[in-house]
């Protein structure tokens, strides 16, 4: 646990009693704060009693008056489309609003760090797609090199629940836009920006607000080293703002769209080969094509980012290459489940938006595509230009008929549910085909999460096998 500093003897409110909320309560208490809590769920009283804290409705008049800070969970809106009533009350009372990420950065460094040979470092990863794989891959590469590594944030443990890092320890954080937008302290040693595509726009007031939330990690966090994906204009703009000139190697530009050029520090993947250039000269190369845990160009971008981070932390190219080859991949992200009679079954349930589904469609051939769910803004029609390898689409979800209508020029079958879709794809697939779950939609019409949706797909495929 990371005890939260700076609130000894003060009253701090915690809004939301999920995983991060419970960890925050315990970390605040360990730091000497008096904690009061609120959650809109039916189990709020039970959860508060289990932690030995008082329940208080912060949204009531005066509910925040004595608070030194209100700490909110990431899923609770604090600005758009409208602040939660408790946060609105805190704003009106002038009470600082923060989250567990902000508390983590203000509390991580201890007095013992001055005695360490290598003070711990924090690597923070944000972006639209690839955050989880990139974060896990960075942690895997560093562990393979014998480094002490903890993985936290949106993946692994809650940030305040980790152990205090030791001499030379590294904390790798996956951070969403909800977390970077609100955190009052952001001081990573290495910041990573994977890419940007439209997502969560209602929570950020549009694409500008969404990008601004990501940008805070770099503009306000001031990392010593920045690894920036430059395949979109936002990444190129961010890299430009962070560097003082073309040769500034504090910024490492990465790409999976083709060769980069210039005098700076560059890592890119072209036709399945990763290359590293510094000052105009190639200094490293890796063949990514046969690494089974990293299929497709989108995973090659993740590999480039992880490679760049590892290089910035002192690892050599051959050392990184060996670690990449042993990476097994993450569940629900281009995860090969089985091969049955020459047909591959791939679970990419994490492809909850158009851009992530596009990457999955580009990564495989002869696709029998299971898609659909709760549509996001813009629908799935933009994927038609990437559907050349789709033999047939099997559409699930509450909005299956509307999704199917958008897939013009593709053979489509409305299946409604996962069981029917898997059965129909299995019955029609031929050797060499890939049955791919890449929904391009949220899961919440039929499942509690994309993980539950992916687990359902996996269970049905395993039953076939």
The one-character DSSP state at 442 is B
Closest by Cα among 214, 226, 220 to 184:
220
What are residue 304's phi and psi, to 5 degrees?
-60, -45
- Beta carbons within 8 Å of 328's beta carbon, 6+ residues apart: 293
Closest by Cα among 66, 2, 1 to 34:
66
8 Å CB contact between 186 and 174: no
**Terminal-to-terminal C-alpha distance of the chain:** 43
- Beta carbons within 8 Å of 52's beta carbon, 6+ residues apart: none
What CA–CA distances, in Å, run from 102 to 86, 166, 188, 288, 450?
Answer: 19, 21, 11, 36, 27
Closest by Cα among 18, 24, 106, 8 to 70:
24
Say whether 129 counts as a known binding-site residue.
yes
Say whether 243 counts as a known binding-site residue.
no
What are residue 111's phi and psi, to 5 degrees?
-60, -25
Whole-number Å distance between alpha carbons of 283 and 308: 12
Say whether 128 counts as a known binding-site residue.
yes
What are residue 175's phi and psi, to 5 degrees?
-125, 130
What CA–CA distances, in Å, run from 187 to 145, 233, 336, 421, 440?
Answer: 25, 25, 37, 46, 33
Say whether 31 counts as a known binding-site residue.
no
Closest by Cα among 297, 315, 296, 299 to 307:
315
Whole-number Å distance between alpha carbons of 285 and 216: 32
Closest by Cα among 308, 319, 312 to 189:
312
User: How many CB atoms neighbour CB 318 within 10 A?
Assistant: 10
The one-character DSSP state at 247 is T
8 Å CB contact between 58 and 81: no
What CA–CA distances, in Å, run from 39 to 24, 95, 147, 154, 182?
Answer: 14, 18, 39, 20, 19
Whole-number Å distance between alpha carbons of 183 and 186: 7
Binding-site entries for ATP: 127-133
Binding-site entries: 127-133
């Amino acid at each position: 646990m990371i005890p939260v500093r700076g609130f000894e003897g003060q009253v701090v409110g915690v809004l939301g009693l999920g995983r991060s909320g419970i960890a925050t309560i315990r970390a605040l208490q360990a730091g000497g704060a008096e904690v009061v809590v609120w959650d809109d769920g039916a189990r709020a009283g039970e959860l508060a009693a289990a932690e030995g804290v008082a329940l208080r409705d912060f949204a009531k008049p005066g509910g925040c008056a004595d608070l030194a800070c209100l700490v909110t969970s990431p899923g609770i809106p604090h600005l758009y489309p409208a602040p939660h009533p408790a946060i609105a009350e805190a704003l009106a009372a002038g009470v600082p609003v923060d989250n567990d990420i902000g508390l983590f950065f203000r509390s991580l460094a201890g007095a013992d760090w001055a005695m360490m040979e290598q003070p711990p470092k924090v690597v923070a990863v944000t972006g639209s797609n690839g955050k989880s794989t990139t974060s896990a891959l960075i942690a895997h590469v560093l562990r393979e090199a014998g480094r002490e590594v903890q993985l936290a944030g949106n993946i692994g443990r809650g940030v305040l629940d980790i152990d205090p890092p030791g001499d030379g320890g590294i904390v790798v954080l996956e951070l969403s836009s909800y977390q970077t937008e609100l955190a009052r302290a952001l001081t990573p040693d290495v910041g990573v920006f994977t890419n940007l595509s439209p997502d969560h726009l209602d929570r950020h007031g549009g694409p500008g607000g969404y990008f601004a939330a990501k940008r805070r990690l770099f503009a306000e966090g001031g990392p010593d080293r920045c690894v920036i994906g430059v395949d979109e204009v936002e990444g190129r703009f961010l890299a430009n703002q962070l560097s003082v000139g073309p040769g500034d190697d504090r910024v490492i530009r990465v790409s999976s769209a083709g060769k980069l050029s210039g005098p700076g520090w560059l890592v890119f993947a072209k036709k399945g080969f990763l290359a590293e250039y510094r000052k105009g000269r190639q200094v490293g190369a890796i063949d990514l094509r046969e690494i089974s845990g990293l299929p497709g160009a989108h995973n090659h971008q993740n590999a480039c980012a992880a490679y760049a981070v590892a290089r910035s932390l002192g690892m050599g190219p051959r050392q990184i290459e060996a670690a990449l080859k042993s990476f097994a991949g993450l569940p629900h992200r281009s995860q090969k489940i089985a091969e049955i009679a020459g047909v591959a079954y791939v679970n990419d349930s994490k492809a909850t938006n158009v851009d992530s589904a596009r990457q999955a469609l580009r990564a495989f051939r002869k696709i029998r595509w299971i898609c659909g769910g709760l549509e996001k803004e813009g629908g799935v029609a933009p994927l038609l230009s990437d559907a050349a390898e789709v033999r047939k689409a099997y559409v699930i979800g509450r909005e299956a008929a509307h999704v199917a209508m958008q897939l013009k020029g593709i053979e489509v079958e409305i299946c409604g549910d996962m069981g029917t879709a898997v059965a129909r794809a299995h019955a029609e697939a031929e050797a060499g085909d890939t049955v791919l779950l890449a929904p391009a939609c949220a899961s919440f019409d039929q499942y509690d999460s994309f993980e539950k949706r992916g687990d359902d797909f996996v269970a049905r495929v395993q039953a076939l096998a």
